[in-house]
Structure formats: C-alpha cells, structure tokens
Chain A
Amino acid sequence: MNQSNSISLKIASGILLSLIIAGVSYGFIKFIFLPFIKIAGISLIITLMLFYLLDPVIAWLERKGIERDKSVKMIFLSSMVIFILIAVITLPGIAKKGASFMFEKGSIKEEILSGIEKASTPLEKFIPKQVVMEKTVRIIEDMQKSFFENLPSIINQISYIIILVPFMSYFILVGKRKLLNRFLEFVPNRYFEITLHLIHRINLQWGVYIRGKILESLILSAVIILFLLPIRPPYLILQALIAGFMNIIPYIGSIIGGIPGVIIAVSHFKAGVVLYVIFVYFVVAQIIVDEIILTPTLLAKISDLHPLTVLIVLFIGEEIGGIIGMIVCIPVAILLKIVILEAYYFFKYQGETPPEIY
C-alpha cells in the first residue's frame, strides 16, 4: 500500500513538474524568446542596412590612410552628434505635430474621412456613402485603439533596437574581417573555396541592392517633394518619405506608398490638383524617374529575379512577416538564387572541364 502510494506520489509530482516546466517554457517562449527574436531580427536588418551603407565610406577613409577602427569611431561619433542635434531640434515639433495629427481637428482621422467622403460622393449610386463612412470610422478607431494598447510595448521594442543597432553595427564594421575568418575556420576544407566564393557574391549583390534601394528611395522622395512643393500639401516631407521608402517593396510598394498622399490631396484640393498629385506620384516618380532612370542605373547589377518569382516571394514574405517580410524577402531570394545556382554548378562540373560559358 505504502509502495503504491509512493508510486502515485511520484507520478503526481512528475505530472506537476512537467506542467510547471511546460508553463515556464511556454511563458519563456511567448514573452521572452519570441519578442527577443523579433527585436533581434529587426535590429539585424537595420544593422545590415547600416553596414552596407557605411562600409564604402569606411573603405574610402581607409584609402586616405585612416585605420579601420579609427574610421568607424569617427563615423559613429559624428553620426551620434548629428543624430542628437536633429533629435533636439525636431523632436519637440514632431511630438506637438504628432499629437495634433492624432487627436485634434485636422487629425489623420479627419483627413482620411474627409478624403473618403469626397471620393465616395460620385459613387453614391453604387455604394451608399453612409456605409463607407461607418466602416472607415470603425477601421480607424480599431487601429487607434490597437496603437494605444500596444504603445508601451512599441516604445520598449524601439528602446532595445536603439541600443542594439549601434552596438551591433560598430562591432560588425570594426571586426568584419575577423568575424568572416572565424566563421571560415569552421568550414571544412572541401567547401572552403565555394563558401568564400558564395559569401563574396552575396556580399556584392546585397551591397548593390541595399545601397541602390536606399538611394532610390531618397531620390524618389526628393522628386516628389520638388514636384509637389508648388501646391504645398500638408505633411509633404512625411508623405514623400513614405512613398519613397515603400518603394523598397517591389510593385505593390509604389502603389501603397502613394495612397496617403492621394488621400490628403483629395481632402484638401480640387479635382484638377488631385489629378496633378496622382500624376506626380504614379507617372513622374514611379514611371519616369524610377522605371526609366533609376532602376536601370542603380539596380542593373542585381541578379534579376523573374517578375513572377518576385510576386511569389512577396506573397510568401507577407505571409511570414507582414511588411518587414516583404522588405526582407527580396534579399533572401537573391541569396537563395546565388546559393542554388552555385551549388548546382559546383556539383555538376566537379572533376571535369566545364563549358566556356560557365
């Protein structure tokens, strides 16, 4: 009897212990590990972007005879001073403007409602205006509610990213060679050359892609500001930056990026001016400047992905990681394309002389 009691006690203790372990693991994964992975992932993406932007500047300083670690320190110190100065000058204004943007008259909610009201008037025969307005109000209120509920967590995440990014960028920029060599030491001799070759090709392609995309976004934003300056729409710089940087997402980004500007234009200007704004966003910026001038010059060196591949990759990226997934999926697709093609040739032509084309 005593023995069976002892066994039951052991089983019960075992179940209880398992439950505690499962609960703690679940809590750890949900509240510590997953948020950490998310923060680390976003920080890594920003770090890589900074790395590819700053590395050529550091190489230029090295060419001038300044050692690498000193060059990195110089760039970090000057960036920090500029960052603090910009923050001190603009933050109070942004906070004030942001508050009125969110809550007061002329707020984003009113801008959108007024734009949609004007736009839906001619279509009233087909879709009742009342229904459209009610639905829009509900969507905006849900978004506002979710924004305020998540605000502490967003601020928390941004603080971690602000701390992590400079730290990671500094050490990757200073120690990139040592990090690479240390990684290669773990690669078996048999795959050493092909690994080095792959890293070199991926590095080149990512560098061109990331620098090209950032430059493309900045030029597009500048073009939009230049063409819309005569009509002075509200939040011009913000609209232009959104349109420019949404362009990082192929095809869909250029359309999504133009929507805020068009909505603001609809709520503020007459039909003729709205048409001009649409022309600037979608014809001048997207077709003339981006498709005809920027893409062939800035992004021509990138291993071209088939448009259908890009669409499939974008869909997968969106499913996995939303907007961030859509931004990251193209560099990942470039990486996979290089790895698959190189591995194919590596194994196909091993031990024989390959054709000249290869």
Chain B
Amino acid sequence: MGDTLWGSIFKKLGKNEIEKFLSENPLFEGLNSKEIKSLSNLIHLRKYKDGEIIFREGEPGVGLYIVMRGRVRIFKSVKEGNEITLAEFVPPQFFGEIAVIEGGPRTASAVAVGDTDLLGFFKADLMELIETNPRAGAKILLRISEILCKRLRNADREIARLSSGESK
C-alpha cells in the first residue's frame, strides 16, 4: 500500500534512466540490480544552468557529484579576483569524492559549463546505505577507496617528477 500510494504521489521522472546510468558507472561497479535500485532512491538529481555555481571553496563538502549531462569546471580563486582552472569533468566522470569520506570543507569551487545534470551522492546517503544494506555500502566504499588510492599514486608520481625537475 505504502509503495503504491507514495509511488503515485511522488512519481519521479527518469528513474529508469538514472538506474541505467548508475549501473554503467565505474563508481558503482559490482552492484547488483537490487542494490542499484536502493542506491537510486538515495541519489539526488540536480539541474544546473550555464555558469551556475555548484559549490564554493570553503563551504562544507558533504558528497560527490556524477556528471550525467553537460560539463563541470573546477577552479580555485587566486589573488586579484583571478581564477585558475584545476580540472573539467564530463559524463560519466565524478568529482568531490573526498567529501564523502572526510566531509571537510571544499578545497576548490565548481561551476556548470552549459546546462548540466548532476547526480549527487552524499555522506549521509552512504551512511544510510551502510546501515540498511551494508554489502552495497561496503562495495561503494571500496570503489571510492580504490579511486582515491589511484589519485594519490598519481599525485605522488607528479610530486616525484616535479622534485626531480623532469618536464612532462
């Protein structure tokens, strides 16, 4: 009864599309269809217009975003109002994964380039998933850890390269 009533009241468009997108994303690799379904209930679809700020440096970071459509530019403000672009993300890439684990303040700002659809997955959502479906939660945590390790290795390599004075 609950499902049918809520289903009709809170009908959400594009749910299948989101489930399909999530199942194909490397971040959620290894999750079965039931786990993807419970994950899709936790995910937040947000639509941004061209130039709209997604988050600003210094704000509390509570989760990661997956680019579903459009493009996202990550930048840092430097002296005299200038900005330096650190990275750009396109579908199905994601950014902000450190915040899911650590939850500290954002170290850079993010802005939408063109009309952009993002799927937000937050620390609170992950904690809820761990509580209700620990198996799926552990799989996602493991994937995020793998990705963070890969990025740490790349950063180490980059530091080593820069300190040895090698050029790219």
- A197: Cβ under 8 A from any B Cβ: yes
For chain A, residues 319 to 357, give those with C-beta under 8 angstroms from any C-beta of chain B: 342, 345-346, 349-354
A182, B9: Cα distance in complex, Å? 10
Provide the bound-state CA to CA distance between A68 and B128, in Å: 13
Contact of B80 with A by CB under 8 A: no
Given contacts A178-B10, A189-B48, A358-B105, contact A72 B60 (CB under 8 A): no
Q: Is the CB–CB distance between A178 and B123 below 8 Å? A: no
Taking CB atoms, residues of chain B closer than 8 Å to A279 are none
Tell whether, in the assembled complex, residue A63 and residue B52 are in contact, meaning their CB atoms are under 8 Å apart.
no
Are A174 and B6 also in contact (CB < 8 A) when A63-B131, A200-B123 are?
yes
Residues of B1-54 at the interface with A, using a CB-CB cut-off of 8 Å, are: 1-3, 6, 9-10, 12, 41-42, 44, 46-48, 52-54
CA A288 to CA B92, docked complex, whole Å: 58
- Overall SS of chain B's interface: mixed
A205 to B: closest C-beta gap in Å = 13
A117 in contact (CB, < 8 A): no
With a cutoff of 8 Å between Cβ atoms, the chain B residues found around residue A50 in the complex are none
B109 adjacent to A351 (CB under 8 Å): yes
Q: Does A297 contact B (CB under 8 A)?
A: no
Distance in angstroms from B19 CB to nearest chain A CB is: 15
- Chain A residues with a Cβ closer than 8 Å to the other chain, count: 36
**A200 and B62 within 8 A (CB):** yes
CB distance from B133 to the nearest CB of A (A): 7
Closest CB-CB distance, B120 to chain A, in whole Å? 8
Bound-state Cα–Cα, A144 to B42, Å: 53
Chain B residues closer than 8 Å to A194, beta-carbon distance: 59-60
Whether a CB of chain A sits under 8 angstroms from the CB of B114 is no
* B contact residues, range: 35 or more
Q: Known: A62-B133, A181-B44. Contact between A354 and B6, CB under 8 A? A: no
* CB of A190 closer than 8 Å to a CB of B: yes
B2 contacts A170, C-beta separation under 8 Å: yes
Let me know if A193 and B105 touch, CB within 8 A: no
**A351 with B56: CB separation less than 8 A:** yes
Q: Which residues of A sit under 8 angstroms from B131, Cβ to Cβ?
A: 59, 62-63
| 15 more A-B residue pairs beyond the given contacts A175-B6, A349-B58, A350-B56, with a C-beta to C-beta distance below 8 A | A59-B132, A69-B2, A72-B2, A171-B6, A181-B10, A189-B54, A190-B53, A192-B120, A196-B44, A200-B123, A200-B124, A346-B60, A349-B105, A351-B58, A353-B107
Q: B residues engaging A (CB < 8 A)?
A: 1-3, 6, 9-10, 12, 41-42, 44, 46-48, 52-63, 77, 105, 107, 109, 120, 122-124, 131-134
Query: Can you list 28 A-B pairs with a CB-CB distance of less than 8 A?
Result: A63-B134, A69-B2, A72-B2, A171-B2, A171-B6, A174-B2, A175-B2, A175-B6, A175-B10, A178-B6, A178-B9, A181-B12, A182-B10, A189-B46, A192-B46, A193-B59, A193-B61, A196-B44, A196-B63, A197-B60, A197-B62, A200-B122, A203-B124, A350-B56, A351-B56, A353-B57, A353-B105, A354-B105
